[in-house]
Amino acid sequence: VICHCLIVGGGIVGLATGLELLRQQAGLKVLLIEKESRLAAHQTGRNSGVIHAGVYYKPGSLKARMAVEGNRSMVAFCREQGVPHEVCGKVIVATEPEEMPLLERLFERGQQNGLELHRLNTDQVRELEPHARCLAGVRVPSTGIVSYGTVCDKLAELFRTCGGEIRTGARVTGIRRTQAGYVVETPVGAFEGKFLVTCAGLHSDRIARLAGESLVARIVPFRGEYYELAPQRRSLVRGLIYPVPNPKFPFLGVHLTRMIDGSVHAGPNAVLAFKREGYCWTDVNIRDLWDSLTFPGFWRLALRNLGEGLREIHRSLSKQAFLRSLQRLVPDLQLADLRPAHAGVRAQALWPNGGLVDDFLLVRGERSVHVCNAPSPAATAALEIGKFIAAELPPLN
C-alpha cells in the first residue's frame, strides 16, 4: 500500500507535523517511522523543558516568529489536552557591568518580537528570586515549563486518533525515488509514500542526503550536561533564572530551571559529543566523530573560539567549575547541592565556514520537505513548524 505521506523521525517535530498534516488534509494515510523503540528518545526527551517566549531571536526570522506563535500554541495545546504545564515566567539577569548593555539590547529585541517584558532592578529581581545575585534583570512573563515527552505522548495519541500510523524500531537505512514518490528502506521492511517529510534531528543532514538533497551544512553534535539540585535545596530557585547570553553563542550559558515535576535543573554546558547520540564522554562512534573532525566548519568554529570551547570542556570535567558558573547567578549554591542529572545532545547544523546555521532550516525537494536544522526553540515552536510544513504540501488525496 502506498501512503500519502511518510514522516521520518518520532521527535516532537515529526509528531507535530504528522498531526497538523492530518488536521489540514483529513483522511490521508500518513506513516511515521522512528528508529528507537519509543518516541521522543533524543532531543525532545532530553531538554530543559522550557516553553520559550521568543526574546533572543532575530526579528523576522523563522525562529522568532515560530517561537512567539509557538509559545501561544504550545500553551493552548497543553491547556486543551490536559498536559501539565505552567506559565511561570523567567528572569534574565546581568551579573557583570559589561552585561548591562547586552541586557538592554535583549530587552529591545524582545520588544521588537512583540513580547511583553519588564525591566527589573536588583530589589525587584530579589522579590521574584530571593537568592539571585544581579545588577539588573528582565522578566519574561510568557515563558513556561512542560515535559515535552508528555506533549509527545499526547501528539501521538491524537495523530493515531486522526488515522495516522506509527512504526517504532524502524531505522531508515535507504531512500529511493520512484515514479510515485519515495521508498524508504528499513530492516523491518520498505515503505512507499507519495510525499516524504524528514525530521531526523541529530541525523537530519544524513537523511536529507540519503533522499538525494545536496546539503552543504552538517550537523555537529554538542552535548549539554545538567546537574540537579538536591531536593532540600530546591527552594534556592523559584522559577527560571537565566544569564545574559553571549550574542555569538546564544546557546551557551548555564541556567537554573524549575522542571514541571518540581525538580530544579542546572545546565546545560556545551561540549563536542563523540557520537551523535553520545550522552557521556565514553560514548564514541567512529563514523560520527570522523564526520565532525573532517568537517572544515567544525575546525573553523573551534579555532575561532578556542577559549570558550576549553572553558566548556573544563566545566564538563570539573564540578567545581560548573558550580562557579552557577554561583554567578545564585551565590548560596554549594558543591554538595549538585547531583549529576541527564544530558542531551543538540543537533546544531554548521556551515562549512564555521558559522552556526542560525535559523531553522527547511529544505524543499520535489516531493519532499527536510527539516535540516531545528535546534532550540524548536520544541516550543513544534506546532508552528508542523503547520508550516503541512501547508507546503500539495493536496495528496
Q: Which stretch binds ligand FAD (CB under 6 A): 8-16, 87-95, 135-143, 306-314?
A: 8-16
Of 268 and 309, which has the nearer Cβ to ligand FAD?
Answer: 268
Angstrom distance (rounded) from CA 248 to CA 245: 8
Angstrom distance (rounded) from CA 294 to CA 172: 24
Report, in Å, the least distance between residue 221 CB and ligand FAD. Answer: 9
Which cell numbers hold the place of 170?
524502524
Of 52 and 139, which has the nearer Cβ to ligand FAD?
Answer: 52
Distances (CA, A) of 344 to 77, 92, 269, 317: 25, 23, 10, 16
Q: Which stretch of DSSP H or E encloses residue 6? A: strand 2-8
If one asks whether residue 375 binds ligand FAD (CB under 6 A), the answer comes out as yes
Helices assigned H by DSSP within the chain: 12-24, 62-81, 100-112, 122-128, 148-161, 204-210, 286-293, 296-304, 306-317, 319-327, 382-392
Cis peptide before 377 (omega within 30 of 0): yes
Q: Which stretch binds ligand FAD (CB under 6 A): 24-32, 82-90, 343-351, 388-396?
A: 343-351
Report, in Å, the least distance between residue 390 CB and ligand FAD. Answer: 15
Angstrom distance (rounded) from CA 3 to CA 266: 44
* Contacts to ligand FAD from residues 198-237, by CB under 6 A: 199-203, 207, 224
If one asks whether residue 14 binds ligand FAD (CB under 6 A), the answer comes out as yes
* Contacts to ligand FAD from residues 98-157, by CB under 6 A: none
Of 10 and 309, which has the nearer Cβ to ligand FAD?
Answer: 10
DSSP β-ladder status, 165-167 and 90-94: unpaired
Q: Residue count at the site for ligand FAD (CB under 6 A)?
A: 42
Report, in Å, the least distance between residue 74 CB and ligand FAD. Answer: 8
Q: What is the contact surface with ligand FAD in residues (CB under 6 A)?
A: 8-14, 33-36, 41-44, 46-50, 52, 171-172, 199-203, 207, 224, 268, 344-346, 371, 374-380
